[in-house]
Amino acid sequence: MSSPEPGTPARQRALELQRLLNAAAHAYYVLDAPLMEDPVYDRLYRELLELESAEPALRSPDSPTQRVGGPPAEGFRSVRHRIGLLSLDNAFNTTELEAWYARLLKVLDREPGTALPMVGELKIDGNALALSYEHGLLVRAATRGDGEQGEEITANVRTIGAVPLRLQLEPAPAWVEVRGEALIPDTTFAAINGERAARGEALFANPRNACAGTLRQLDPKVVAARRLDFFAYTLHLPEGEAPPSQWAALEWLRRAGFKVNPNAELLPDLQAVEGFFQRWDGGRRQLPYATDGVVVKLNDLALQDAAGFTQKAPRWAIALKYPAEEAPSRLLRLTCQVGRTGVVTPVAEFEPVALAGTSVSRATLHNADRLAELDLHAGDTVVVRKAGEIIPEVVRVLAELRPEAAQRLELPDQCPECGSELVREAGEAATRCVNSSCPAILRGALRHWVSKGALDVDGLGSKLIEQLVDRGLVGSIADLYRLDGAVLASLERMGSRSADNLVAALQASKTQPWHRQLYGLGIHHVGEVNAKALAAAFASAAELATAALDSPDVITAVFGIGAEIAQSLQQWFGTGANQRLLTELERLGFTLALSGEELEAQAQRSAAGSGPLSGQTLVLTGTLPSLSRSQAQALIEAAGGKVSGSVSKKTSYVVAGAEAGSKLSKAESLGVPVLSEAQLRDLVGALDG
């Protein structure tokens, strides 16, 4: 079918209807100021729908009829975020807030007590979303996921009225990344649960869980029916186009058509932040949605850039949480769990209590010191809360309600799993079972090895691992790869097809990248982030073992890796059982090394490292005349140099552009050479022409 001419009455009417309906939706969902009655909106919407149905070429991506459309999806694809979604560090009282602020001043090289303007925002208890716009049009929406990649849920997010399908800006930027929180208001949540109860369906525990489950619905029509809301709070724009401050960024989002939480405040100093936090401790209970704290952000974006990030969170922002809801309960028993590293953790089991929308009946007590601090006795009444609204914890014991002659509770002397004597090293809080053959340690090691962040073996859950260990079929990680279909099929709830699929999944896991294998080994202090850093620096287990045993200082030279991790690696690789495990894995087909493609990329980087900036560390600050930040970094790395986010005595050069911040001042105070973009190009021999 040919497209209608631009000036035809049908196209003119369709454009007029789209404009009217989009304006009405923005007024209703974002401004809370309806422009027209519902019957009028419905009549205009039906007219537009009929026009577009008769002539599909009239249907544009930002038409209001496209908020809900298309058949249910078969699944969600994983997408990498253009800009990562880092989580925030938490503070649980004003003392921790003040400690964060003192660290921030130190990073920025400011005098203690310096007042820096900040923005206070409510911490909405919802689900973070990443929205991508190109030339003003919404092209992708994704969940947070692990911060680096999430699931694409664009069709579902289109149903949220507070999310503009097209930005209300002319001209629109080439691209913009918007971050915000999807949520279900309390009244909507109550209505959803009322409908589910009437249908005899299980009720959602709380609005946050309901929102998360809704966003992952395969049918957008189901999502639309649950009437999600959205608050925008962060944006990222092309180099040179960003507003100068967080406060200006919130205003930019409002002008672009987003719903921005109206309770944000510009706060001149830390005292004002504390007042903001205290006001909303009481005020939050009158809000129509759930909040669990406030978020504090440094207002000046140039100072944010100067403060930088840790591996997990920005240094320039923090979430200040409110004390969690508490409830009393009677202790039923004290049990102990043995983890994969042999750490024995006491667990309090008590009568179920409702907290933050869920039923809670057990909480970890962490270690023997915490157990002694609580002075826990059999039959005690304990006060329980959810730390950060998520993790149950025992806050205190109501000793005045203690039964007469109640026995004091302590950790056992022997491992509850294998009976071996427990050990507590001097200076350590943890009590451990040191028997490497302990079934609990083995089960934990196997669960960790097959977990999603490690080898990601589908079909090998905790119940099956318990059977394999209890029957003596598996005594190490390597034994998993000696299992055959017939043995697996003989286990409970395992048919021949499931057994064959598991064998195939185990064999496929041998091709997982080196950093996943390293993480899967379960070395103390080596998490996913550290495993990636170590795998990038040491191409194989053999290289890492040599460095750990012979040159630990080489390990601590890796960014983000400290002496504690180096010592842990030295202990692990120095243990005979672990050396034998690596040998067995290699015999079974594991390379325990970077793949050929990864080695080739590393070789290219190494070749680049022989350039004019080989061995040099540079810091970028300010806006360069013609190079974006990423282009400048690529230029430096191609010349063999490294780019760091902070200035120190070890910095070789600082490359400064317009509006350079505190990094330039620090470079000058330390005597670090400062380069312009032209001087950088001269240095790397990359002058145009």
Rounded to 5 degrees, what angle do the CA atoms 493, 494, 499 make? 165
Query: Which amino acid appears at position 186 of this protein?
Result: D
Q: Is 436 left (phi over 0), alpha (psi -120 to 50) or beta?
A: alpha
Handedness of CA 15, 224, 36, 46 (dihedral sign): positive
Extract the tokens encoding 621.
């600050």
Torsion angle of alpha carbons 269, 270, 276, 278, nearest 10°?
Answer: -150
DSSP string, 5-67: PTTSHHHHHHHHHHHHHHHHHHHHHTSS--SS-HHHHHHHHHHHHHHHHH-GGG--TT-GGGS
Residue 107 CB contacts under 8 Å (≥ 6 apart), including other chains: 306, 307, 308, 315, 646
Q: What is the CB neighbour count within 10 angstroms for residue 381?
A: 17
Let me know if 123 is a catalytic residue.
Answer: yes
**Pick from 139, 142, 128, 130: nearest CA to 177:** 130
| Residues 155, 159: Cα–Cα separation, whole Å | 7
Torsion angle of alpha carbons 375, 378, 380, 383, nearest 10°?
Answer: 70
| Residues 590, 649: Cα–Cα separation, whole Å | 42
Containing 580, the helix (H) or strand (E) segment is helix 576-587
489-497 — which CB contacts under 8 Å span 24+ positions? 491/464, 491/467, 492/467, 493/463, 494/464
Mapped onto helix, strand or coil, the DSSP state of residue 606 is helix
| Residues 672, 249: Cα–Cα separation, whole Å | 33
- Specify the pairing of strand 137-143 against strand 358-364: unpaired
Mapped onto helix, strand or coil, the DSSP state of residue 384 is strand
Catalytic residue of the set 106, 123, 221, 532: 123
Query: Which active-site residues does the annotation give?
Result: 123
